Structure 1
């Protein structure tokens, strides 16, 4: 993954719940760029898609908004 952590600029790693920075230990969740709500992650046949339940439909990976995850990680 070529995304960098907005806190420390180190590479992020993919997790089941979003992305994680192993350097500064911040978690991020994929959110809709239109409504900023968390997206449903759909995984099938090796593909990952993102769906907004709030009326914006499928969201392109290029448009994902990565916001800090809730503190329960």
Structure 2
């Protein structure tokens, strides 16, 4: 599944960590996860190859199948 640019909707290339690059826009974008219940940013927790997401706004652990991924221009 391709990661699409939020501006021009072309496939973006992964750079490193949570950074992606769109060759169409010539811009870098940072990926972040939102809670499906409150739409606020989630804390990403990584250990031993596993990735979990935690909502600090009362919703606790969130399955990665339920998260919403968004992209913001990297400054």
Superposed CA deviations along residues 4-59 of structure 1, whole A, max 9, x for unmatched, are 3343331463754x452x11432231111111111111110111100001111111
**Does 2-11 or 33-42 show the bigger shift?**
2-11
**What is the root-mean-square deviation in Å for CA atoms of aligned residues?**
2.6
Moved over 4 A (4+): none
Tell me which of 50, 61, 66 is aligned to 2:64: 61
Greater relative contact order structure (CA < 8 Å, 6+ sep): 2
Q: Structure 2, unaligned stretches of length 5 or more?
A: none
Distance change (3 Å), C-alpha of 1:39 and 1:15: farther
In the superposition, the TM-score normalised over structure 1's length comes to 0.67
Q: Structure 1, unaligned stretches of length 5 or more?
A: none
Which structure's residues are more often strand, by fraction?
2
Which structure's residues are more often helix, by fraction?
1
